[in-house]
């Protein structure tokens, strides 16, 4: 982001820059502010919320610059508005990882220690401890969320609802035309499309946001507010990284598309007073369902290297997902290794993906037969493709990343940084800038989650303060 914002290397090493990104000085002609918004949290109306620990510094070259963790705001309620090094590193690394994966996201510009000791209860279990305070400066075209529209609708403040919607269209969707009822519908369609595109990308790489409340949904379809996120280790449609969501699993991996739609319904309700017609909004929402089914199928075809559409593809995909859930197998490693599958040698399929299994000793009997049958079916399906092995392999590798930000990787970097050594943060950052490349110097990161991380706090158990 340094280049996009016009900061030189000298700029970011200056005292003035440090003052800006730690909240100790204002950028010239700027008026810092915190946003007021509302939201539905875990399916329930939470009322007024707002930027409790985020402060918008202003805009630079049409990019909004925001500090997270710089202190209390009018919307901090009873909290301190601060952030800790642990959560700041996680946000810094993940937002950049998502960007380089090709997934719409907020970006990170810098991370700074504050020198404060901040009290946090990581698992909300009555065991608070002091941690190092830190601030992330993050960047986006806008930080507007669904909740910004919900707050005015809930207050029946139609004047400000219209003002906000018109502002958003003029500044972020200008091609839609001058605001009017027809354009408001086009605006909602655009937000719906962008939200769907973002979630399809999440599903493609196995990313789980963990807390898809409406106040965490970007109006631009950006991944925003990195808290208890995680990437699938073993493929599991029911997995959520959020301890708060452990019982009901509302925000589990397999349910993210449904939650995206649910959240869009709440945005539709908020925009309804500007349109005064339910049918066209409902039509857009219904379109989300059919679009998701089609785009999800296209995404899975790409992951499998299928570039011609066959009616039987959905059966092949379903049987694969069934197999993936029966025995624990690493999603990222499986699909990356699968790119080297040769249709002429289906009997070598199991051998090819052996390193992706967490419990290869359980690959026996009916489970083994189901996998052999799937590879036979996959090989026959590949016979219908008209591209070479080399081209298919390359195209699959641009869809299936080799490296993702596994929680244990972030935790190792956090543990070192907490001792004053940021070398691992830098290494992981460099690795994640080229997630689809082989990067032999980082081959040691192309590995399953180590067993010590299976139940370790920060690696498997995460809270909304993560």
Residues in the chain: 466
pTM value? 0.96
Contact criterion met (CB below 8 Å) for 40 and 47 = no
The string of DSSP codes covering 63-112 is EEEEEESB---TT-TTS--BEEHHHHHHHHHHHHHHHHTT--B-EEEEEE
For 298-354, strand residue ranges (E) read: none
pLDDT at 7: 86
Helix axis angle, 389-397 to 331-338, nearest 10°: 160
Gap between the Cα atoms of 453 and 404, Å rounded: 16
pLDDT at 12: 87
pLDDT at 1: 82
Domain ranges of the chain: 2-140, 146-302, 306-397
pLDDT at 103: 98
pLDDT at 28: 83
Q: Give the CA count within 13 Å in the CB-facing half-sphere of 61.
A: 8
Return the C-alpha torsion angle 390, 395, 400, 403, nearest 10. Answer: 70
pLDDT at 466: 64
Residue 215 is among the residues annotated as catalytic for this protein: yes
Gap between the Cα atoms of 350 and 357, Å rounded: 10
- Which residue is catalytic, options 11, 157, 215, 421? 215
pLDDT at 255: 98
Gap between the Cα atoms of 49 and 201, Å rounded: 28
360: which residues sit within 8 A by CB, 6+ positions away? 354
Pairing status of strand 230-231 against strand 107-120? unpaired
Q: Please name the residue that has the structure tokens 């946003």.
A: 35
Q: Which residues of the chain have pLDDT under 70?
A: 465-466
Gap between the Cα atoms of 289 and 258, Å rounded: 9
Contact criterion met (CB below 8 Å) for 410 and 353 = no
Gap between the Cα atoms of 275 and 279, Å rounded: 10
Calculate the CA 181 to chain-centre distance: 32
Strand partners, 40: 45
- CA torsion sign, 16 to 22 to 26 to 27? positive
pLDDT tens per residue, range 216-245: 999 999 999 999 999 999 999 999 999 999
The string of DSSP codes covering 351-413 is HHTGGGBS-GGG--HHHHHHHHHHHHHHHHHHTT--S-HHHHHHHHHTTS-S----HHHHHHH
pLDDT at 122: 83
Which pair of structure tokens corresponds to residue 251? Answer: 């925000």
């Amino acid at each position: 982001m340094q280049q996009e914002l016009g900061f030189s290397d000298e700029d970011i090493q200056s005292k003035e820059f440090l003052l800006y990104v730690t909240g100790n000085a204002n950028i010239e002609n700027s008026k810092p502010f915190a946003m007021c918004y509302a939201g539905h949290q875990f399916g329930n109306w939470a009322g007024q919320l707002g930027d409790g620990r985020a402060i918008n510094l202003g805009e630079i070259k049409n990019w909004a610059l925001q500090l997270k963790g710089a202190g209390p705001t009018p919307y901090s309620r009873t909290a301190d508005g601060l952030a800790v090094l642990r959560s700041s590193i996680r946000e810094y690394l993940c937002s950049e990882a998502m960007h380089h994966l090709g997934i719409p996201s907020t970006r990170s510009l810098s991370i700074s220690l504050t020198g404060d000791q901040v009290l946090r209860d990581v698992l909300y279990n009555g065991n608070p401890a002091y941690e190092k305070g830190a601030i992330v400066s993050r960047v986006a075209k806008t930080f507007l969320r669904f909740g910004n529209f919900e707050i005015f609708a809930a207050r029946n403040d139609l004047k400000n609802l219209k003002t906000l919607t018109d502002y958003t269209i003029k500044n972020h969707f200008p091609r839609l035309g001058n605001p009017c009822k027809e354009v408001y519908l086009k605006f909602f369609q655009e937000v719906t499309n962008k939200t769907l595109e973002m979630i399809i990308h999440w599903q493609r790489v196995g990313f789980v946001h963990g807390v898809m409340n409406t106040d965490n949904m970007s109006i631009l379809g950006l991944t925003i507010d990195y808290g208890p996120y995680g990437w699938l280790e073993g493929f599991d449609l029911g997995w959520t990284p959020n301890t708060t969501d452990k019982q009901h699993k509302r925000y589990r991996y397999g349910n993210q598309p449904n939650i995206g739609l649910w959240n869009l319904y709440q945005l539709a309700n908020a925009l309804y007073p500007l349109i005064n017609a339910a049918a066209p909004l409902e039509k857009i929402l219904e379109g989300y369902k059919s679009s998701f089914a089609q785009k999800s199928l296209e995404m899975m075809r790409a992951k499998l290297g299928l570039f011609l559409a066959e009616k039987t593809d959905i059966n092949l995909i379903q049987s694969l997902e069934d197999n993936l859930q029966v025995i624990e197998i690493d999603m990222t490693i499986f699909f990356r290794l699968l790119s080297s599958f040769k249709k002429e040698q289906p009997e070598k399929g199991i051998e090819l993906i052996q390193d992706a299994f967490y419990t290869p000793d359980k690959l026996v009997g009916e489970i083994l037969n189901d996998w052999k049958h799937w590879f036979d079916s996959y090989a026959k399906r590949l016979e219908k493709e008209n591209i070479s092995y080399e081209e298919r392999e390359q195209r699959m590798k641009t869809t299936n990343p080799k490296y993702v930000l596994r929680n244990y990787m972030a935790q190792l970097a956090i543990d070192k940084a907490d001792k004053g050594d940021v070398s691992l943060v830098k290494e992981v950052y460099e690795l994640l800038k080229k997630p689809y490349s082989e990067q032999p110097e980082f081959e040691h990161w192309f590995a399953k989650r180590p067993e010590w991380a299976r139940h370790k706090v920060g690696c498997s158990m995460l809270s909304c303060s993560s």
